[in-house]
Amino acid sequence: MLAAGAAVLLLISGNALPIAAQKPASAAPDMLAVQVMLDRARFSPGEIDGRGGPNTKRAIAAFELAKGTTVAESLATMSVEPTIAYTITAEDAAGPFETIPEDTMEKAALKHLPFESLVEALGERFHAAPALLKRLNPAAQFVAGETIQVPNILAVPEPTSGEGVAITVSKRASALTLTDAAGTVIYHAPVTTGSKHDPLPIGEWLVTAIARNPTFNYNPDLFWDADPTHAKAKLPPGPNGPVGVVWIDLNKPHYGIHGTPEPGTVGHTSSHGCVRLTNWDASAVAALIGKGAKVTFTE
């Protein structure tokens, strides 16, 4: 267990950030510890909120099945605190941040679709619901130089060749699983997999390309609920873009696996047919697979 005040380094998206470990603030600490442990084990509970729910229950079940042990046993041997202290930098606070319009045509007129606030950006970096960050730090102003408590998560995996790694998406379980050539689960994450209007295309597919920080080619003809006044448009990249920070293209026209601007909705609401993950889970999946990876969509 890390001692209070011990200096550590947390790697976030490849960048080393100085952090001092402290005692975690109170916000349903048992469930928070469970979610952090699952996230660190690459069995993502989705957005860490300190409360749990269907995504966390599915991650627990997948972890216990794959590891042959219980979450309780794993927590008993967990060697890190569930939260650590992070000092907000001037670069963090600089943004840019911008209010994102609801209308698709108005979004298309922008040059970028960035985070709307520092709290949203920090939530994404630490896989946390903005509401959790506020509960953990009730007196925080979220300004440069301020030290706050954040979930003690790991970095996005370093990119690999992805050789032998396959993707399975279960409609029933609302989950994506990566397995290596030996069939071992190396990543598990909650997903949203379509709706009655745009059902998941059950079958086997292949990854044809991986685009990071993608633009989005909007075609209203492909959306049953599109505004009839809308025209085709190219939406700029950014974490608040329609497909988030990653698009994994498949050999099924108009279908892909991608991120989202609304991580709190993953696993809970419907989508337009594609497979939607949190931006951090989409980034991790993209790092662990390669072009030509086998993708299986199941009921």
In a 10 Å sphere around its CB, with 0-12 CB exposed, 13-18 middle and 19+ buried, how is residue 267 labelled?
Answer: buried
Contacts of 120 (CB under 8 A, 6+ apart): 97, 130
The model's confidence at residue 271, banded by pLDDT at 50, 70 and 90, is: low
**Domains of the chain, first to last:** 7-151 (no CATH), 166-298 (2.40.440.10)
Chain mean pLDDT for the chain? 88
Burial 111-138 (b: 16+ CB within 10 A, else e): eebbbbebbbbbbbbbbbbbbbbebbbe
Whole-number Cα distances in Å, 206 to 210, 257, 277: 12, 11, 18
| Stretch 15-25: mean pLDDT | 37
Residue 71 has pLDDT above 90, yes or no: yes
pLDDT of 21 strictly over 60 = no
Which tens digits make up the pLDDT trace of 137-177? 999 999 999 999 999 999 888 888 899 999 999 999 999 99
Q: Is the pLDDT of residue 24 over 60?
A: no
pLDDT value at 17 more than 60? no
Q: What is the DSSP letter of 131?
A: H
Percent of the chain with pLDDT strictly greater than 70 = 86
Mean pLDDT of 273-297: 95
Whole-model pTM above 0.85? Answer: yes
pLDDT tens, residue by residue, 225-243 = 666 778 788 999 999 999 9
% residues pLDDT > 90 (the chain)? 75
Please report which confidence band the pLDDT of residue 11 belongs to, taking 50, 70 and 90 as the band edges: very low
| 43 — pLDDT class (breaks 50, 70, 90) | very high
pLDDT digits (tens, 9 = 90+) for 95-144: 999 999 999 999 999 999 999 999 999 999 999 999 999 999 999 999 99
Read off the pLDDT band of 195 (50, 70, 90). Answer: low
Dist. CA 75–CA 65, nearest whole Å? 16
**pLDDT, tens digit, 9 for 90 and up, residues 74-95:** 999 988 999 999 999 999 999 9
The dihedral built from the CA positions of residue 279, 283, 288 and 291, taken in this order, carries a sign that is positive
Q: How many CA atoms lie within 13 A of 234 on its CB side?
A: 5
Give the span between the Cα atoms of 261 and 47, in whole angstroms.
12
Per-residue pLDDT at 226: 67
13, 92, 118, 196, 217 from 125: Cα distances, Å:
8, 11, 10, 33, 26
